[in-house]
């Protein structure tokens, strides 16, 4: 989907399923995220394709685990630190660490240094990992300066700005810039695009009625825009929006932006039943 002239050498081994390893280019460790791994692997495959097309060598470390955000946000600081140490160790050898989630990458970039601010042993490794870590779409634009290659999607899409990616990492214009090059796709800016969809991790569990009201407002704004598709960069938000759309029996499709950019939308949209 994208090409880049950026190049640096790294060490490590490629995943068996990631395709041919490139001889040159930055060595990227892909942080897959729990939701991608368990519910939407297509986003992971799309991420690998985008990074490889941009000239990167991609490895998916098998030792990676959850970023620890649910534990940290729920007050289990010690549990979150145990998880973070495993992530730090798993991604210690890469030029960059990239993930298709503003939420998870914000945890690594912003919360890890805070977790270990007073830990003499882990403070520097946490800061080092944070400095090398990026959300996928911002990495392609801000770090690699990638130039999109042809991709096609026929539709009018509303882009949802997820809270963590937007507010913690500044992911706003980058996905729109990349998506503007997709043939057949037009973007519709929706009212309150920067307003939370109501997912918020454990928020939707603790406050279901408020969460339902928020996602209903989001769906109404999407419908008012005339969009037939919702795109975003965080699967948690996209699952929440897709779930509400289906409960309201709306035909609007939902995809992760990486799937559209990689030309990998030939599977059922998020929330739709698998083909048999």
Query: Where do we find the tokens 């495959």?
Result: 45
pLDDT value of position 276: 64
pLDDT value of position 206: 75
Q: What is the mean pLDDT of residues 138-147?
A: 94
202 within 8 A of 73, measured Cβ to Cβ: yes
Query: Could you tell me the pLDDT band of residue 112, with boundaries at 50, 70 and 90?
Result: very high
Q: Which of 257, 249, 259, 255 is nearest to 270 (CA)?
A: 255
Query: Could you tell me the pLDDT band of residue 224, with boundaries at 50, 70 and 90?
Result: very high
Q: What are phi and psi of 155, to 5 degrees?
A: 165, 175
Query: Could you tell me the pLDDT band of residue 22, with boundaries at 50, 70 and 90?
Result: very low
* 126 has pLDDT over 80: yes
pLDDT value of position 179: 97
Query: Could you tell me the pLDDT band of residue 194, with boundaries at 50, 70 and 90?
Result: confident
Q: What is the mean pLDDT of residues 112-129?
A: 98
Q: Is 40 helix (H, G, I), strand (E, B) or coil?
A: coil
256 within 8 A of 232, measured Cβ to Cβ: yes
Q: How many CB atoms lie within 10 A of CB 274?
A: 6
Distances (CA, A) of 215 to 157, 219, 273: 17, 6, 21
Range in 24-33, 174-183, 212-221 the model is least confident about? 212-221
Q: How many CB atoms lie within 10 A of CB 122?
A: 18
Q: For residues 245 and 257, what is the distance between their CA atoms, to the nearest angstrom? A: 18
Q: For residues 41 and 47, what is the distance between their CA atoms, to the nearest angstrom? A: 10
* CATH architecture for segment(s) 150-261: 3-Layer(aba) Sandwich (3.40)
Query: DSSP E strands: which ranges in the chain?
Result: 2-3, 27-30, 57-59, 96-99, 133-135, 147-148, 152-160, 183-188, 229-232, 253-256
* 9 has pLDDT over 60: no
Distances (CA, A) of 248 to 100, 120, 219, 220, 234: 28, 52, 9, 10, 22
CA angle 27, 46, 144 (to 5 degrees): 45
Q: What is the mean pLDDT of residues 52-71?
A: 95
């Amino acid at each position: 989907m994208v090409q880049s002239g950026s190049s640096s050498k790294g060490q490590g081994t490629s995943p068996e399923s990631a395709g041919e390893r490139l001889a040159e280019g930055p060595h990227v460790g892909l942080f897959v995220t729990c939701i991608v791994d368990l519910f939407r692997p297509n986003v992971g495959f799309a991420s690998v394709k985008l990074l490889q097309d941009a000239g990167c060598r991609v490895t998916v470390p098998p030792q990676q685990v959850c970023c620890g955000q649910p534990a940290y946000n729920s007050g289990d600081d010690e549990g979150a630190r145990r998880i973070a140490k495993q992530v730090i160790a798993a991604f210690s050898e890469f030029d960059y660490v990239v993930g298709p989630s503003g939420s998870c990458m914000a945890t690594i970039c912003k919360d890890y240094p805070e977790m270990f601010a007073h830990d003499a042993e882990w403070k520097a490794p946490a800061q080092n990992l944070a400095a090398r870590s990026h959300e996928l779409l911002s990495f392609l634009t801000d770090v690699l300066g990638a130039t999109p290659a042809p991709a096609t999607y026929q539709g009018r899409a509303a882009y949802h700005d997820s809270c963590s990616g937007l507010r913690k990492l500044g992911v706003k214009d980058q996905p729109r810039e990349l998506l503007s090059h997709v043939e057949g796709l037009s973007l519709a800016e929706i009212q309150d695009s920067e307003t939370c969809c109501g997912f918020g991790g454990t928020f939707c569990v603790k406050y279901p009625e408020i969460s339902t009201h928020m996602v209903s407002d989001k769906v109404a704004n999407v419908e008012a825009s005339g969009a037939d598709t919702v795109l975003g960069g965080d699967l948690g938000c996209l699952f929440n929006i897709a779930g509400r759309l289906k409960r309201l029996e709306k035909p609007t499709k939902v995809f992760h932006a990486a799937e559209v950019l990689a030309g990998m939308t030939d599977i059922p949209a998020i929330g739709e039943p698998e083909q048999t």
